[in-house]
Copies of this chain bind each other. A is one copy, B any other.
Amino acid sequence: MSRLDINIRRLKAQRACLNLAAETIGGLAGPVFELGLGNGRTYDHLREILPARGIFVFEREVAAHPDCIPDEAHLFRGDFHDSLPRAAERFAGQVALVHADFGSANPERDARLAAFIAEFLPRVLRAGGVVAADRDVGFAASEALDLPDSVAPGVYFLYRRTA
C-alpha cells in the first residue's frame, strides 16, 4: 500500500465511523466534541451530519480553512492537557459524541495522549455516548462497538460508554 492508499483508507474509515457514530447516538441529547481541528475537514463533516448539535472544537493552533473555524464560543484553544480538564468541568456527563483524531508518527506520544483522553472520556460522555478515534482510547465502563464493514480493525476505533 502506498501512502496514497493508506490515506484514502484512513479517510474512508473516518467518514464511515463518524456516520455510524452519528446514527448510534440518535436521540441521545448532548453536544459533540471534536478533539483536533486540523484543516477542518471532519469538523465540516460533523456539522453536516449533526446539524442540530453544538460542536465544540479543541485545538492548540487554529489553522483550518476559514469557513471551517467555529466561533469563539465553540472553541477551546490551547493544549489538550489544559483544555480537556476545563471542558470536563463544564460538560461533565453531558457529551453525546467525541471525535478524537490525534495520531502522529510517534507511537509513544500517541499512547500517552490516548491514555490521557481515555481518562477524560468517562467524565464527559453521558451513558450511551460514543467516541470515534484514530487511536485506541478504550476507557473504563466502555464497550467496543462493531466497526462498519468497510473498516479494517485498527484503522479506526469506536467505543460507547455503557453506564
Contacts and interface: CB of A to CB of B under 8 A. Distances in A.
Interface in A29-43: 39-42
Contacts of A45: 2-5
Chain A: interface size category: 20 to 34
Interface stretch (A7-15, A52-60, A84-92, A119-127): A7-15
A48 B2 contact: yes
Give the number of times this chain occurs in the complex, counting copies. Answer: 2
Interface of A: 2-5, 7-8, 11-12, 14-15, 18, 39-42, 44-45, 48-49, 65, 68, 105
Query: Which 5 pairs, one residue from A and one from B, show the smallest C-beta to C-beta distance?
Result: A2-B45, A4-B45, A3-B44, A3-B41, A4-B41
Does more than half of chain A's interface fall in helix, strand or loop, or is it mixed? helix
A12 B8 contact: yes
